[in-house]
Chain A
Amino acid sequence: MSVEVRIPTILRTFTGGEKAVHGDGATLQEVLDDIDTRNPGLKERIVESETLRRFVNVYVNDEDVRFSGGLKAATADGDVVVVLPAVAGG
């Protein structure tokens, strides 16, 4: 068991085209660190200066992590993390 991280189309260049990758960790930060070891550069597209990038939304089990601790949001085996780039413009 591990945490499933669903990858948006634009970041699948870091995962060899895979729609989802798996990682281990008790927090979102640890999971992202773990998957970055096998998919170098992926974390940098989600995290900037130790916080989530402004135009990236991350959900752990349907919960927007901005309201549940950000990178410190708890994760457990079987959880599903969804990364969604914000659709925005000017």
Chain B
Amino acid sequence: MLHDTPLRGITPVDPGSVRRARDFRRSQLRSTACACGLTLRIAVVTRATAPNVTAVLKIAREHVDAMIAHARDDHPDEACGVIVGPEGSDVPTRLVRMINAERSPTFFRFDPEEQFALYKEMSAAGEEIVVVYHSHTATEAYPSRTDISLASEPQAHYVIISTRRVRCRSGSGQRTVLPHRRWCGHGGGDRRHGIGPGGQSLAGVARHTGETRCQ
């Protein structure tokens, strides 16, 4: 059963951790449900900086597929983009692929000109960034120290897609497979406490999507 599995890398240590620990469990349950449903569900921790955030984030299957497709397209460089939605709704409705100005397998940064164009577009339409996604091409779908220290959209959820090739053991020996892992969380900051510099929380769960196979 997934809901009793402790999360790796996140150790609640502060008095406020009870709420987050509960949400982590919920996150895993929702992820389990996702495997056979049409909607990916991710638990959300209420944040002081975003009181209007609802308890559960839903990302449409087409957007999940589009994020994975983007990650595959840009591999071995990191892919990045956003899903925007009406301001304050916490509902991601429109996916926008962004250019990784760094063109790097280990780093991403939105192209400043494109990001500014997106900002103006969103301001005019009353939208905001609901999901920030990017890929990890050589590591698991888990926020790196850089991800945590640079997370700067307190209202957004951060989704990570891993395109790294991993070796797994089967009866016929080791084979290389291409799994996709997604980490879903939000905010940024200190991984240990799960609280970012802006007061935002960090929660997440890494899991396989079921595409990993040993042949």
- Contact yes or no, B153 A9, CB < 8 A: yes
Say yes or no: A88-B119 contact (C-beta < 8 A), given A9-B154, A10-B154, A10-B198: no
Say yes or no: A88-B49 contact (C-beta < 8 A), given A13-B199, A57-B115, A82-B119: no
The A interface is mostly helix, strand or loop, or mixed, namely mixed
Quote the shortest CB–CB distance from A34 to chain B (angstroms): 23
Complex Cα gap A90–B106 (Å): 5
Complex Cα gap A64–B206 (Å): 37
CB neighbours of B144 from chain A (8 A): 89-90
A62 interface residue per 8 A CB criterion: yes
Complex Cα gap A87–B200 (Å): 16
- Contact yes or no, B115 A87, CB < 8 A: yes
Chain A, interface size category, equals: 10 to 19
Chain B, interface size category, equals: 20 to 34
- Contact yes or no, B112 A64, CB < 8 A: yes
Quote the shortest CB–CB distance from A1 to chain B (angstroms): 21
Q: How many A-B residue pairs have CB under 8 A?
A: 75
Give me 17 A-to-B residue pairs in the complex whose CB atoms sit less than 8 angstroms apart, sorted by A's number.
A9-B128, A10-B152, A10-B198, A10-B200, A55-B152, A57-B115, A57-B116, A66-B112, A82-B119, A86-B109, A86-B152, A88-B107, A89-B134, A89-B146, A89-B150, A90-B108, A90-B147
**Known A9-B155, A84-B112; 17 more pairs at CB < 8 Å:** A9-B49, A10-B49, A13-B49, A13-B198, A57-B112, A57-B115, A62-B116, A64-B113, A86-B110, A87-B82, A87-B98, A88-B107, A89-B107, A89-B144, A90-B106, A90-B146, A90-B150
A-side interface residues toward B, CB under 8 Å?
8-10, 13, 55, 57, 59, 62, 64, 66, 82, 84-90
B-side interface residues toward A, CB under 8 Å?
49, 80, 82, 98, 102, 106-110, 112-113, 115-116, 119, 128-129, 132, 134, 143-147, 150-155, 198-200
